[in-house]
Each structure stands twice: as C-alpha cells, then as structure tokens.
Amino acid sequence: MRGPHNIWRLIRTLATLERTGAIGVVLEAFRAPPRLRFVARILGWPFKPLGLRGDPALPPATRALTALGPAYIKFGQILSTRPDVVGDELSLQLKYLQDKLPPFPIEVAKKMIQAELDVPVDQVFREFSEPVAAASIAQVHKAWLIEDGREVAVKVLRPGIERAFRKDIDAFYFAAQAIEFISPSSRRLRPLEVIRHFEGVVMGELDFRLESSAAAEFAANTEGDAGFQVPRPIWFLSGRSVMTLDWAEGISLNDNDLIDAAGHDRKVLGARVLQLFLNHALRDGYFHADMHQGNLKVAANGNIIAYDFGIMGRIDEYTRRVYAEILFGFIRKDYRRVAEVHFEAGYVPADRDIDEFARALRAVGEPIFGMDASRISMARLLAYLFEVTERFGMETRTELILLQRTMVVVEGVARGLDPHINIWEVAKPIVEGYITKNIGPRALLRDLGKTARVLARFGPRLPQLVEAALIAQADTPKTVQAKRNWWPVWTGLTGAAMLAAGLWLGQFL
C-alpha cells in the first residue's frame, strides 16, 4: 500500500491547503521563513485545482483539515490547544474540530447500534436524541434507559472511519520514508517509528471495547481524586463500535464566558487540570492522553469531568522516576542534574559533553521562571528546544511521545483558562511529593522488598535451578565449558542472597 500512489495523496494535501487558502494561514501561524513560504506556494499553486473544496462556510485551516480527513483533524485538535504556538486566531478557528464536526444521520447511528448490540434501539432506550456532539472518530447521543430511566451518553463510531484512517496513515508512512531518504539527518527523529506509534494509538481508539476498559481503569484509579470525575461505562450496552456511559453534564473548558457566568474560578481550574495530569502520569503511570478542551468539562459543583478515553498513555515506574527527576531539576534550576538524568537514562548519547548540555538546558528553562506566562513565546521556546535535541544527537523516544504531546496539550488547556499561569509553580507540589515518596532510601528499600517478593515465588525452585546448571556444566565437554556462560548459577546464588536480604528488609517496610 505504501507505494508511489501516495504521491498523489500528498500532492492533493498541498493542493487542498492552497485551494482553501489555508497554506498562507498555516505558514504565517508557524512563522515560517520566507524561503519555505516561497517554495510551498510555488509547489502548491500549479496543483490548486486538484485540491478538495471543503466547506466554504468554514475558516481556511478548519476547512482544509476537515476536507482532508480524520488524521488531519486529529492534528488540528492538538494545535487548537496552543494559541501561544499558532496564534489566537488560528487556535480559535481550530477549536471547531474538537466536537462540532458535521454529524452523520441518526438513522445510521441507530442501525449501527442495533447491529452491534443485537437489539433495536427502542427496546433499550426510552428516548434517543439527535447528536449532541460530533468529532473526528465518533458522535455522541443523549439517551434514557428503559430499565431504570438513567441518563446515558451513547457514543457511535463514524461509518467507514477505519478505512479513511488507514488511507491517511498509509500516506504518512510514505511521507516519512521520503523524508528519511531526502534528509538522512532526520532519521534521529525516527519519523517511521513516530508514524507507527501514531497508527497503534489510532487503531486502538477505533475499538470501543478497549475504550470502555480504559474508562473503567481510569475511573478506578482516580476515584479518590478531589475535584475530578470520570463517567463509568455500561458494559452490556457497549461493543466494538458503540459505547454507553453514564451521562455527566458540564460546561466545556473552551467556553470561558460560560465558565465565568457560572461562577467558577478559571485560575483554580487551570491549575487543577495541570496537577491532575501530573498526578495521573507520575502516581499511576496511566493518564488521559487526549486532554484537549473538547474532552474536558466543568460540572456545576466545580469538578472537572473527563471524556473520551480512546487515547490513554501508560509509562513504567522507571520512566516515571526519570520524568519526575527531570521536572524536579527544572523546578530547582539544577540544570546539571537534569543533564545527568538525560545521560543516565540514555536519552543523550554518552559521547556528548554533559556540561554543554546543561548550559543548553539552562537556556530552555530560565526564560520560564518568574515570568508571566503571557510573555513567554512557547513557539520560540519549542524551536530552541528542537535545536538542542539536534545539536546533541537526541533521538525521538517513541515511548514518551504520548507523555510529551499530552504535556503540551494540557499546558495549552491550562493557559487557555489562565493566561498568566506559571506551569513550574503549579507543578512543584505534585513533583516534590512524588520525589519524596519514590526517590531516595525509602524507595530503595521498597524496591528491594518488591524484588524479594518476586524471588520468593521462585524460591522453592532456586536449588533445582542451581543443581541443574551445575550438572549441565559437568556434562559439557571442556572445550565448550570454557565458553559456557555461568549466569544460571550466579543468578540462582544471587537470587537466594537477595531473597534473604529482601525478607530481612521486609520487616522494616
């Protein structure tokens, strides 16, 4: 599928941006250099008639992205949260992509529900509304159950969406291969790995059984979080293309006027969004990875409600500690330690100068501290950060893509609520709390205790493993014995020693 036919798709993308007038808007928003603007217009102009027309009633960028398809809409949703990067005007236009896309007919939705649940809609729901929200993947209907009269939200997958996504992703693969061929230096950014990661995330988002599972796990993890709530899925009314959840009413976080009219403190909400994300990422290692304003609302009681659990992020405990130490180093302005953590984790090649890297990190962090957020140009900061990664040969870490992307989106949401927010000050108590509990002597003892519990499960087998290894060693010809790896023996002996030490330490934990 990833053949030359995708050249046509890429040409049509450029032609659509030109035909809708979006190319100039986008280049201006990203402050593209004059040479790049000239090349883009020269390449786009001859193919302009081949571009998709889109909806003339929409602004240029929104018109182009909706015409190009769901994968492009996803990209626009991310940009809509960052007015500091793309400008207030373009950000406002792109917010249309969050939950106001054209819906598909209610009759089609009902047929899909009946096919998925194997029961007619009117035998399950007392009432079933027209679409109340429509996004790139699905649309939502409000309904009332016949069984107990409960209000629920019914999410229905867009017809043909999987095929449309696969076409877009196929073209993205082709573009990534072309970029790697034309610019070998771009390979450190691993564009193919990035697209592969994006494909995995999106394909998972198209199966509502997985989203129902994610919603249930997320709700359980966050049950005790003050000021936060997650609608729980109703399993017997959910399947691959249909998902039913408890209804949760609220004001979208992209409507500041309504939030103010309802008497909510936007500064408090902005700080809470950021702190909740950090808590979920560091404490649980499981976080909502699509936290744009369209997926967040504020309830009448001031709680933040999260929706849409198709994209969730998961990071292991080691990565959480690395991430926390990096954030903590920035908060304390200990750039040397931030640099050391990058080297220890293998994020920066070992042959690079750690002091030079620390100096470059200082140039990233210092402009943020003590400065009003409205005076910080995140676009310039990100541009410089990109230069730093290139200079020090840092490769893209695909396991961190969702974490980094969500951090950018969440910061954009927080700044949309409070333009003067200082992300480091807000993050400080969460990161310090995590560091105190998870890094240091107490954490070391806890890790040893966990190791001991794991080894304890294999304790009865350790003597047999050592004996089998020794017998195998004795039966092996001497010429082969010299090359034989003794790791099974040492593993057994070391394991036994660690088990004994762990059991002794366990009494203090």
Catalytic hit among 168, 170, 290, 308: 290
What does the alpha-carbon distance between residue 45 and residue 273 come to, in Å, rounded to a whole number? 43
What does the alpha-carbon distance between residue 34 and residue 71 come to, in Å, rounded to a whole number? 28
In 173-250, beta strands by DSSP E? 228-229, 242-246
Residues recorded for the chain: 509
What tokens appear for 486 in the block? 């003794």
Q: Which residue has the tokens 């070998």?
A: 184
Q: Which helix (H) or strand (E) holds 416?
A: helix 401-417
User: Which residues are registered as beta bridge partners of 314?
Assistant: 286
**Spatial contact of 424 and 330, defined as CB atoms under 8 Å apart:** yes
The closest of 488, 482, 453 to 469, measured between CA atoms, is 488
User: Which residues are registered as beta bridge partners of 287?
Assistant: 313
Angle at which helices 161-182 and 70-80 pack, to 10 degrees? 70
What tokens appear for 369 in the block? 């501290």
Give the distance, in angstroms, between the CA of residue 104 and the centroid of all CA atoms in the same chain.
Answer: 27
**Spatial contact of 31 and 58, defined as CB atoms under 8 Å apart:** no
The closest of 131, 142, 133 to 98, measured between CA atoms, is 133
In 79-175, beta strands by DSSP E? 125-134, 138-145, 151-157
User: Which residues are registered as beta bridge partners of 57?
Assistant: none
Angle at which helices 5-19 and 22-29 pack, to 10 degrees? 90
Residues 6+ apart with CB under 8 A from 127: 143, 144
Strands in 125-134's sheet, in edge-to-edge order, are 125-134, 138-145, 151-157, 242-246
What tokens appear for 488 in the block? 């099974």
In 231-357, beta strands by DSSP E? 242-246, 251-252, 286-288, 296-298, 304-306, 312-314
What does the alpha-carbon distance between residue 54 and residue 58 come to, in Å, rounded to a whole number? 8
Assess whether 118 carries a catalytic annotation.
no
Q: Is 391 helix (H, G, I), strand (E, B) or coil?
A: helix
Q: For 100, which DSSP code?
A: B
Q: For 233, which DSSP code?
A: B
Q: Which residue has the tokens 């954030």?
A: 327
Q: For 151, which DSSP code?
A: E
Active site residues: 290
